[in-house]
C-alpha cells in the first residue's frame, strides 16, 4: 500500500482498540451418513487481537471447521453442539448468534477458491457495489442513489490503486482474470470496509509461489495499515513462518500448541509441532528427511488420552489414558502435552 | 557411452483458442530442448508456474497430445518424432508410466483399486490372469509398503490420500518401466506424510533402476530428490542443469525470483516484486518471455530470443546477461533465424 493509505485508513486505525476472541469448550459436529463426527472437539483458548494469527495443521485436523465456526457460517451438516465463541470488538460482545450482522463491514472472510466465490456472470464492479449494499439497479434508485453509487465506485477505484491493482479489473468478469488476480480482487473485496477481523481460509493454496508471495505480502501490508486482526488458515508451515505473528497448531480436532511464531519455530513444545517443522525439506539442505510414521486417528472412533500418543516417540502410559490440558507453560506459550520439549 | 535417458528436442505445441476470426494462439511449448545422459537412473525435475507448459510436455511424452514440431527419445528409442517409425503404443506403456496429481481423480470411485492393478499386469505386462498376475502385484505392493490383502476389494474412498498415492505408484511400477512421469505427485498429500512418498521415489530409483520425470512447483522437494532440473516459464526452458547447482547458484533472473518467493523457514521475505498481469501476451513475445518482469531486462531481451548459453558442462541458461560479447552475433543469428 502506498503512503496515502494512512490518510484513508486514519479514522479506521484510531477506532481500533481491542479485539479479543474467546473460545470456550467449542465442539463443532458434522452429521454424515456414517454418523456424527466432531471436527472440532472441545477447543478452549483466549486469543488476544492484533496482528496476524496462523492456524496450522494437516488435512482433517479441523482448522477450516474452526474458521467456519468463528465466522458463524454454521449450516447443515455442520453444527455448534457445545461451547461458546465470543468476539470482543471495542468492548462490544459478539456471539456466534449475532455475528451475521457484522459480516463484511467488521468481520470479513477470504475463501480458498476465488473462482467459486465470485459470481461468474456479473462484473467485478457490480460485486463491489453489491457488497456496499447497492443491490438494486439504477432505475429504481433515483438521482441520489445514482450519485451515491458513483461515489462508492470512485472509492473502490481509489482503494484498488492503493493495493496496486489495475483499475480495469472492475470491468472484467471473474473468468477473464488469472487465478492470482482473482485472489487479489478477493483480498480487495474483503478489506474494502476496513474490517476489524479478517478470516482467510487457505487464501493462496492453489497459486504459484511467486503469486503467493505477492498476495501474502499484500495481506501483511493491509494488516499494518489497518492495525486489525487477521486469522489465516494454511497447512504450509513456510507461509506461517513468513507471515504470522502468533500461531495455533491443531491435530485431530484439538489445539495442541499456541504461541508466538518465532518461538514456536525455534523451540516447539509439542512433539507434533516439532515433527511438522522437521519434516520440511529445504533448498540447500542435503540431510535425509523422514516422513512421519502412522496417520492421524479416525475421528469417528472413540478417542482416549492424547490423540498424538500412538505416533509420538515420547509417549508414556499416562498419555494413552488421560487427555493433556492446553496449559500455559511460559508466558504466552501453551501446549497440550505431558512431556513438552525442553 | 552413457545412455540417453531423456532427450527432448525443439518441441513446439500451439493451442488455438477463440473463433476463426478472432484467434488466440498460445505457445504452450515454444522450442523446448534438453537432454540427460547417464548410466545410472536419475530424477529430472520440471519446475514452473501454472501455464509454464510442464503438464503439456508430460502429455506430449505420453502421446496424449501431438506436438506441432520436435522429437522426444526415451532410452534411445524414439517416442515422438515426425516422419519416423516410433515405438508402438504397447511398448511405450512398458517403457513410460504416469503417476498423477490427485489419486482420487486417477481412480474411478466405482471400481475397486485392485482391478486397476490386475488390468495393468494383464494388459500391459501380458501376464496370465490368476496367480501370475497376483504374484507380480503382491511383489510390487510390498516394495511400496502395502500388502495385497490391504487393497483387494477396496474402493478409492477407503484409503487415505497417502495410501492411495502409494497404490498408484505400485500400479505404475508393475510393468517395470524405465521412466516414471509424476505430475505433482505429492501436492495433495500432507506435509508430514509427503516425505514418505518422496523417499519412496528415491528407493524405487535405486531398487528398480527407474528414472523419474518429476513435475512440480515445489522447489524444496525438487531439490531433495532431483539430479537434474529444468526451469520452465511460459513454454520456454529458462535454465537447465544439475539440481544442486541450479538451485544453489541460480543464474537466470527467473530462477532467482522463484527461489526468493519460496516461503522458507529461516529466511524472511522483504519486498514485493512486480506481478505479471498479461499472461496471454507473454506467450507471444518474440524475445525472452520473462523480459516484461525481469529486473535486468535490456532492449535486446524484447526482440531476440536468447539462445542456450553453456557456462559449464551440463549447464544451460537462456539469458542474454550471460552472453559473452563475441557470442552476441551468434546468438542473435540464432534468435532471428
φ/ψ (deg, to 5) at B239: -155, 145
The domain in which residue B293 lies consists of 285-337
ipTM of the complex: 0.80
Residue A9 pLDDT > 70? no
Same domain, B327 and B227: no
Same domain, B188 and B302: no
Per the CB < 8 Å rule, is A58 touching B247?
no
Percent of chain B with pLDDT over 90: 57
The pLDDT assigned to A135 comes to 53
For strands A197-201 and A107-110, give the pairing. parallel
Same domain, B292 and B188: no
Same domain, B202 and B292: no
Same domain, B155 and B260: yes
DSSP B309: B
Instruction: List pLDDT tens digits, range A22-63.
Output: 999 999 999 988 889 999 999 999 998 889 999 998 888 999
Residues of B in contact with A172 (CB under 8 A): none
Residue A247 lies in a domain: yes
| Domain count for chain B | 2
Per the CB < 8 Å rule, is A241 touching B265?
yes
| Domain count for chain A | 1
Same domain, B245 and B303: no
**Closest Cβ opposite residue B220 in set A166, A276, A283:** A283
Q: What is the CATH number of the domain that holds B83?
A: 3.40.50.300
For strands A333-335 and A327-330, give the pairing. antiparallel
Euclidean distance between CA atoms B6 and B226, whole angstroms:
14
Instruction: List pLDDT tens digits, range B221-251.
Output: 999 999 999 999 989 999 999 999 999 999 9
Rounded mean pLDDT of B65-78?
A: 93
Same domain, B143 and B289: no
Residue A239 lies in a domain: yes
Per the CB < 8 Å rule, is B192 touching A180?
no
Rounded mean pLDDT of B156-166?
A: 89
Q: Determine which of B191, B215, B242, B244 to mutate to test the interface with A (most A C-beta atoms within 10 Å).
A: B191
Rounded mean pLDDT of A210-228?
A: 89
Higher pLDDT pick, A266 / A93? A266
Instruction: List pLDDT tens digits, range B121-142.
Output: 999 988 888 899 999 999 999 9
Percent of chain A with pLDDT over 90: 40
Residue A318 pLDDT > 90? yes
Rounded mean pLDDT of A290-304?
A: 83
Euclidean distance between CA atoms A59 and B191, whole angstroms:
10
The domain in which residue A25 lies consists of 5-116+195-297
Residue B278 pLDDT > 70? no
The pLDDT assigned to B22 comes to 74
Residue A315 lies in a domain: no
Residue B283 pLDDT class (50, 70, 90 cuts) = confident
What does pTM read for this prediction? 0.84
Residue B337 pLDDT class (50, 70, 90 cuts) = very low
CB atoms within 10 A of CB B266: 10
Instruction: List pLDDT tens digits, range A164-209.
Output: 888 888 998 988 888 888 888 998 998 888 899 999 998 887 788 8
The pLDDT assigned to B252 comes to 94
Euclidean distance between CA atoms A256 and A309, whole angstroms:
12
The pLDDT assigned to B189 comes to 81
Residues 202-241 on A with a CB inside 8 Å of B are: 208-214, 216-218, 221, 235-239, 241
CB atoms within 10 A of CB B233: 25
Residue B232, CB-side half-sphere exposure with 13 Å CA sphere: 31
Euclidean distance between CA atoms B151 and B174, whole angstroms:
15
Cα B67 to chain centroid, rounded: 16
Same domain, B233 and B138: yes
Residue B272 lies in a domain: no
Residue B273 lies in a domain: no
Residue B326 lies in a domain: yes
Same domain, B27 and B162: yes
Same domain, B86 and B196: yes
Residue B270 lies in a domain: no
Euclidean distance between CA atoms B12 and B28, whole angstroms:
8
**Closest Cβ opposite residue A209 in set B217, B268, B277:** B217
- How high does pLDDT run on average in chain B? 87
Characterize A300-309 residue by residue with b for buried, 16 or more Cβ atoms within 10 angstroms of its Cβ, and e for exposed.
eeebebbbbb
**Closest Cβ opposite residue B49 in set A210, A281, A283:** A210
Judge contact between B181 and B98, C-beta under 8 A. Answer: yes
Same domain, B167 and B123: yes
Q: Among A134-143, A263-272, A273-282, B27-36, where is mean pLDDT lowest?
A: A134-143
Residue B329 pLDDT class (50, 70, 90 cuts) = very low
Q: Determine which of A291, A293, A299 to mutate to test the interface with B (most B C-beta atoms within 10 Å).
A: A291
DSSP E strand stretches across A90-167 = 92-95, 107-110
Residue A168 lies in a domain: no
Euclidean distance between CA atoms A213 and A207, whole angstroms:
10
Same domain, B126 and B229: yes
Q: Among A138-152, A240-254, A317-331, where is mean pLDDT lowest?
A: A138-152
Q: What is the CATH number of the domain that holds A86?
A: 3.40.50.300
Amino acid at each position: 500500500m502506498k503512503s496515502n493509505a494512512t490518510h484513508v485508513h486514519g479514522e479506521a486505525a484510531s477506532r481500533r482498540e481491542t479485539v479479543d476472541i474467546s473460545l470456550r469448550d467449542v465442539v463443532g459436529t458434522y452429521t454424515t451418513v456414517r454418523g456424527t463426527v466432531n471436527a472440532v472437539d472441545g477447543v478452549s483458548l483466549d486469543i488476544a487481537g492484533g496482528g496476524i494469527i496462523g492456524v496450522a495443521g494437516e488435512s482433517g485436523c479441523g482448522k477450516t471447521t474452526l474458521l467456519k465456526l468463528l465466522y458463524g457460517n454454521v449450516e447443515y451438516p455442520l453444527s455448534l453442539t457445545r461451547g461458546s465463541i465470543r468476539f470482543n470488538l471495542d468492548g462490544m460482545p459478539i456471539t456466534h448468534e449475532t455475528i451475521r450482522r457484522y459480516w463484511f463491514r467488521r468481520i470479513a472472510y477470504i475463501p480458498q477458491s476465488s473462482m467459486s466465490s465470485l459470481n461468474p456472470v456479473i462484473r467485478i464492479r457490480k460485486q463491489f457495489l453489491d457488497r456496499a449494499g447497492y443491490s438494486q439497479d439504477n432505475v429504481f434508485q433515483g438521482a441520489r442513489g445514482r450519485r451515491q453509487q458513483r461515489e462508492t465506485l470512485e472509492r473502490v477505484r481509489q482503494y484498488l490503486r492503493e493495493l496496486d491493482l489495475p483499475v480495469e479489473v472492475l470491468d472484467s468478469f471473474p473468468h477473464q482474470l488469472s487465478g492470482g488476480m482473482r485472489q487479489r480482487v478477493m483480498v480487495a473485496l474483503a478489506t474494502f470496509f476496513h474490517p476489524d477481523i479478517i478470516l482467510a481460509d487457505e487464501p493462496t493454496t492453489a497459486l504459484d509461489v511467486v503469486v503467493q508471495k505477492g498476495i501474502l505480502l499484500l495481506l501483511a501490508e493491509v494488516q499494518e495499515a489497518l492495525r486489525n486482526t487477521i486469522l489465516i488458515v494454511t497447512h504450509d508451515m513456510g507461509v506461517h513462518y513468513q507471515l504470522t505473528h502468533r500461531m495455533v497448531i491443531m491435530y485431530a480436532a484439538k489445539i495442541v500448541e499456541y504461541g508466538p511464531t518465532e518461538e514456536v519455530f525455534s523451540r516447539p513444545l509439542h512433539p507434533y509441532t516439532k515433527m511438522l517443522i522437521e519434516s520440511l525439506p529445504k533448498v540447500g539442505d542435503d540431510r535425509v528427511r523422514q516422513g512421519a510414521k502412522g496417520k492421524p486417528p479416525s475421528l469417528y472412533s472413540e478417542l482416549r488420552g492424547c490423540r498424538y500418543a500412538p505416533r509420538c516417540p515420547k509417549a508414556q502410559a499416562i498419555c494413552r489414558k488421560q487427555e493433556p490440558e492446553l496449559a500455559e507453560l511460559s508466558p504466552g506459550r501453551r501446549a497440550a502435552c505431558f512431556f513438552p520439549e525442553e | 557411452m552413457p545412455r540417453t535417458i531423456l532427450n527432448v528436442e525443439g518441441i513446439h505445441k500451439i493451442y488455438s483458442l477463440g473463433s476463426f476470426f478472432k484467434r488466440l494462439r498460445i505457445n504452450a511449448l515454444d522450442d523446448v530442448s534438453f537432454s540427460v545422459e547417464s548410466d545410472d537412473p536419475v530424477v529430472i525435475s520440471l519446475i514452473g508456474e501454472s501455464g509454464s507448459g510442464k503438464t503439456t510436455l508430460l502429455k506430449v511424452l505420453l502421446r496424449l497430445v501431438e506436438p506441432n514440431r520436435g522429437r522426444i527419445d526415451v532410452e534411445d528409442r524414439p517416442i515422438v518424432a515426425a516422419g519416423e517409425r516410433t515405438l508402438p503404443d504397447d511398448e511405450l506403456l512398458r517403457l513410460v508410466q504416469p503417476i498423477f496429481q490427485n489419486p482420487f481423480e486417477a481412480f474411478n470411485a466405482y471400481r475397486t483399486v485392485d482391478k486397476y492393478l490386475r488390468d495393468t499386469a494383464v494388459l500391459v505386462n501380458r501376464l496370465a490372469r490368476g496367480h501370475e498376475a497376483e504374484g507380480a502385484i503382491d511383489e510390487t505392493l510390498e516394495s511400496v509398503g502395502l500388502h495385497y490383502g490391504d487393497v483387494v476389494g477396496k474402493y478409492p474412498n477407503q484409503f487415505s490420500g497417502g495410501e492411495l498415492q502409494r497404490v498408484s505408484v505400485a500400479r505404475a511400477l508393475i510393468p517395470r518401466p524405465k521412466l516414471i512421469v509424476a505430475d505433482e505427485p505429492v501436492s495433495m498429500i500432507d506435509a508430514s506424510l509427503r516425505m514418505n512418498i518422496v523417499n519412496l521415489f528415491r528407493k524405487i530409483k535405486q531398487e528398480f533402476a527407474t528414472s523419474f520425470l518429476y513435475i512440480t512447483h515445489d522447489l524444496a522437494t525438487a531439490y531433495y530428490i532431483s539430479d537434474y532440473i529444468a526451469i520452465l516459464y511460459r513454454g520456454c526452458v529458462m535454465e537447465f542443469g544439475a539440481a544442486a547447482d541450479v538451485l544453489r547458484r541460480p543464474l537466470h533472473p527467473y530462477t532467482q525470483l522463484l527461489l526468493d518467493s519460496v516461503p522458507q523457514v529461516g529466511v524472511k521475505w522483504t519486498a514485493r516484486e512486480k506481478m505479471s498481469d498479461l499472461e496471454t501476451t507473454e506467450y507471444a513475445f518474440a524475445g525472452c518471455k520473462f523480459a516484461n518482469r525481469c529486473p535486468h531486462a535490456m532492449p535486446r531481451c524484447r526482440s531476440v530470443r536468447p539462445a542456450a548459453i553453456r557456462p559449464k558442462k551440463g549447464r544451460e541458461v537462456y539469458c542474454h546477461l550471460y552472453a559473452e560479447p563475441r557470442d552476441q552475433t551468434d546468438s542473435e543469428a540464432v534468435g532471428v533465424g
